[in-house]
Chain A
Amino acid sequence: MPLEHPRKGDRPVMTTIRDYTLGERLLTLDNVCVHYDRPILDGVTGHIDNLRRAGLQQGQVVCLLGPSGIGKSQLFRCIAGLQRPTSGSVRLNGSQRDVQAGEVGVVAQNYPLFNHRTVWGNLMLAALRHGRSMDAAREACLALLDKFRLADHARAHPMMLSGGQRQRVAIAQQLLCSSHFLLMDEPFSGLDPLVKTAVCETLIDVSTSHELNTIIVVTHDIECAIRIADTLWLLGRQPDASGRPAGGASIREVHDLAGMGLAWDPDIESRPEFLELAAELKARFATL
């Protein structure tokens, strides 16, 4: 059983903390290339290690940041196991085999759910995928409905839900059946600032509630990425001889926000470092 995360009211207690250790390897991206008629991804290499904080059991949030059209969605599909890279590999937990679809929880941009099933039906379908008994599945679904404040909507169909409710059901569904981490594609796309804040809080809440809840967020929203992430990967292209970005994209920079003391701080937006980093990343976007 995971240890209960310390809470003050409904919000996890977060502090500006630099003390953490890195544990076992969770994800390895090994020279991932995707080529069609032109290179999209070219040698994407990186890894995520399990991050541990003394006295806490929590996951982590890694944001894969990059401008639109850079190949984020292609990398998303490769990490999700929905697409085989042209070359290179994506591996989980130090395994030697490539990731398979279904091993990683995936919440796509439009929060896919089965419209022909109710919220309860969607959750039970996922809960029963991993050999749970009916009673255990029901218990797991009830717990998540309660956690995500969706108990009143259990019998509703997805078409009857608001965007935020739909997103929470999609996250809950994937948490029920993924045994590794949660991958999210552009969760902030097209949202107003208030809803963005609510989504950020949901993601932080999910990631800090369980050791296994590591979330990889693919986004081009710099402020939201800094707000929720403990690690930032910046995806971009190499400049050619004339200085213009060319070829396929790869991870150009890694920002260790936990090491910089910028992670797990609910008031991060008020800190000058937040604004400086956001400005720096915006300037970098133009060169990617």
Chain B
Amino acid sequence: MEKTLKPVNLLLPFTPVRVRWKHALVAAQAAAALALWALSTSRTLPAPPEVGRAWLDLVAHQGLLVELWVSVKVSLLALALSTAAAVALACLATAPLFMPLARLSAALRFLGFAGLTYVFMLVSSDAITLRVAILAFGMFVFMVTGLLSDLAATSRDPVDHCRTLGMRHWRITAEVVLLGKADVILDLMRQNAAVGWTLLTLVEGLTRSAGGIGAMLLNENRYFLLARVFAIQATILAVGLVQDALLSMLKEAACPWSTLGKETAPS
């Protein structure tokens, strides 16, 4: 029997849509944005072919991929350090003594980097260390905020359940926070990886001599070479999306329970 397609009003909120339709919508809107850009008559905005040529030139003559690798290393190291520090602090915050310290750390997200960079310079031995320290700090404060918020929303039930099994103190923390919140931690890592890429330009701007794609972006922007700027931005966007997809796959592999019981649309 032939299946009949039911009409779906995509303008209505919470309308259930098949996964393939969602993918089609993303592809259509991306194509429309690209078409708009290509058909733009703006003189200042570089056209897609110009950006493509600029990208090839950057790769061939300016070492774009080498600079990208410098930045990726800094970004990954900062992500690992900030995650480890934030998770450790969130675990400590389950004890009342450390909660004020955790709250103070979360409050530091309102600080700008101006002035703060000087403190980091004093304690850093080289440019790469300085970059990692500032970037890790930027990610850390947001990750602590996210973890504290999730801990605050955790009910008493899992803690009681641990106690009924004879667990005590830090063993409960390990079960409820480290293992029980592994999916939340990986989700926050995804968000912080994105925050890291947005901060990267600022951080690499402090020590341009050490290279990196952020420093390259600032250099091209300084001379208003928009085609090259767009090419570098597109590269950062692509790397960010790939990193995000990899972290998402890591979450699905490490925490298969996190998607169970959630409504999924048919394909």
Tell me the bound Cα distance from A157 to B165 in angstroms.
19
Q: Is A278 an interface residue (CB 8 A)?
A: no
> Which listed segment binds B: A5-13, A102-110, A188-196, A230-238?
A102-110
Q: Is A160 an interface residue (CB 8 A)?
A: yes
B160 touches A116 (CB 8 A): no
Say yes or no: A82-B166 contact (C-beta < 8 A), given A157-B256, A157-B257: no
Within 8 A of A (CB), among B157-210: 157-158, 160-161, 163-167, 175, 179-180, 182-183
Within 8 A of B (CB), among A94-121: 101-106, 108, 110, 112-117
Say yes or no: A159-B257 contact (C-beta < 8 A), given A114-B175, A126-B165: yes
Say yes or no: A114-B260 contact (C-beta < 8 A), given A80-B164, A108-B160, A125-B165: no
B260 touches A105 (CB 8 A): no
B180 touches A102 (CB 8 A): no
A101 touches B163 (CB 8 A): yes
- The size class of the interface chain B forms with chain A is 10 to 19
Could you say which residues of chain B place their CB within 8 Å of the CB of A159?
257, 260-261
Tell me the bound Cα distance from A160 to B164 in angstroms.
23
A102 touches B260 (CB 8 A): no
Tell me the bound Cα distance from A157 to B256 in angstroms.
9
Say yes or no: A108-B161 contact (C-beta < 8 A), given A157-B256, A160-B260: yes
Could you say which residues of chain B place their CB within 8 Å of the CB of A114?
158, 161, 175, 179-180
Within 8 A of A (CB), among B123-178: 157-158, 160-161, 163-167, 175
Per-residue CB contact flags for chain A residues 158-180 toward chain B (1 = under 8 Å, else 0) read 11100000000000011001100
Say yes or no: A129-B165 contact (C-beta < 8 A), given A112-B160, A115-B257, A160-B260: yes
Q: Is A252 an interface residue (CB 8 A)?
A: no
Tell me the bound Cα distance from A81 to B162 in angstroms.
12
A105 touches B180 (CB 8 A): no
A173 touches B165 (CB 8 A): yes
Shortest distance from the beta carbon of B150 to any chain A beta carbon, whole Å: 14
Q: Is A147 an interface residue (CB 8 A)?
A: no
Q: Is B255 an interface residue (CB 8 A)?
A: yes
Could you say which residues of chain B place their CB within 8 Å of the CB of A81?
163
Could you say which residues of chain B place their CB within 8 Å of the CB of A82?
160, 163-164
Q: Which of chain A's residues has its CB closest to B182's CB?
A: A116
Could you say which residues of chain A place their CB within 8 Å of the CB of B182?
116
User: Most chain-B CB neighbours within 10 Å: which of A115, A125, A130, A174?
Assistant: A115
B164 touches A130 (CB 8 A): no
Shortest distance from the beta carbon of A230 to any chain B beta carbon, whole Å: 24
Q: Secondary structure of the A side of the interface?
A: loop
Could you say which residues of chain B place their CB within 8 Å of the CB of A113?
161
User: Most chain-B CB neighbours within 10 Å: which of A114, A117, A160, A174?
Assistant: A114
B161 touches A102 (CB 8 A): no
Shortest distance from the beta carbon of A124 to any chain B beta carbon, whole Å: 11
Say yes or no: A112-B161 contact (C-beta < 8 A), given A102-B167, A177-B166: yes
Per-residue CB contact flags for chain B residues 240-261 toward chain A (1 = under 8 Å, else 0) read 0000000000000001110011
A129 touches B175 (CB 8 A): no
Q: Which of chain B's residues has its CB closest to A160's CB?
A: B260
Could you say which residues of chain B place their CB within 8 Å of the CB of A130?
166
Q: Which of chain A's residues has its CB closest to B156's CB?
A: A82
Q: Which of chain A's residues has its CB closest to B257's CB?
A: A157
Could you say which residues of chain B place their CB within 8 Å of the CB of A160?
260
Tell me the bound Cα distance from A73 to B141 in angstroms.
39
Tell me the bound Cα distance from A112 to B154 in angstroms.
14
B163 touches A102 (CB 8 A): yes
Q: Which of chain B's residues has its CB closest to A80's CB?
A: B164
Tell me the bound Cα distance from A116 to B160 in angstroms.
16
Tell me the bound Cα distance from A117 to B161 in angstroms.
14
Tell me the bound Cα distance from A116 to B183 in angstroms.
9
Could you say which residues of chain A place their CB within 8 Å of the CB of B166?
101-103, 129-130, 177
Say yes or no: A116-B180 contact (C-beta < 8 A), given A157-B257, A159-B261: yes
Say yes or no: A102-B179 contact (C-beta < 8 A), given A115-B257, A160-B260: no
B257 touches A116 (CB 8 A): yes
Tell me the bound Cα distance from A160 to B256 in angstroms.
11
Shortest distance from the beta carbon of A78 to any chain B beta carbon, whole Å: 13
Shortest distance from the beta carbon of B211 to any chain A beta carbon, whole Å: 41
B257 touches A102 (CB 8 A): no
Tell me the bound Cα distance from A177 to B167 in angstroms.
11
15 pairs, A vs B, C-beta closer than 8 Å: A82-B163, A102-B163, A102-B166, A104-B164, A108-B157, A112-B158, A112-B161, A114-B179, A116-B179, A116-B183, A116-B257, A117-B179, A126-B165, A160-B260, A173-B165
> What are the 8 A-B residue pairs with the smallest beta carbon separation, nearest first?
A102-B166, A159-B260, A101-B163, A106-B164, A112-B161, A159-B261, A157-B257, A129-B166
